[in-house]
Amino acid sequence: MQINISTRHGRVSEQTQEKVRQKLEKLSRFFDRLSTIELTINLEHRDNPVVDLKVSAEHKHDFCATCQAEELMAAVDKLIDKMEQQLRKYKEKVQDRHRATGMRQQAASSEAELES
């Protein structure tokens, strides 16, 4: 999994980038097929930074989230919560789809047995 952190209108220290990177790595717990994570920190308004997150999963569409807060780490935490919800919801949707396919096959075989 590749993590890219970029900054607009300012600079973020290496320590802060490392903290953010550690938090972003935890997203793979929710969906293991993540290929790229791109985080953009916009410091145009230092007292109210805007953070954008784009997550790419292999063979799937991209997940995006944006958050704005008074402090950078608070914005990152809120952003990660939003992304976790998106990934969880998508994973449940995929799992339910596979479960429903199995149930349809069972129902079809049950109907075939009843007709015999």
DSSP secondary structure string, 37-102?
EEEEEE-SSTTS-EEEEEEEETTS-EEEEEEE-SSHHHHHHHHHHHHHHHHHHHHHHHHHHHHHHH
* % of the chain residues with pLDDT over 70: 86
Average pLDDT on 91-96 reads: 83
pLDDT of 97 above 80: no
Instruction: Please tell me the distance from the alpha carbon of residue 31 to that of residue 113, in angstroms, as a whole number.
Output: 39
Prediction pTM value: 0.77
Average pLDDT on 84-108 reads: 75
* H-run or E-run covering 26: none
pLDDT of 65 above 90: yes
**Confidence class of residue 112 from pLDDT cuts 50, 70 and 90?**
low
Going by C-alpha positions, the residue among 82, 92, 100, 77 that lies closest to residue 22 is 77
Q: How far is CA 80 from CA 23, 28, 49, in A?
A: 8, 12, 15
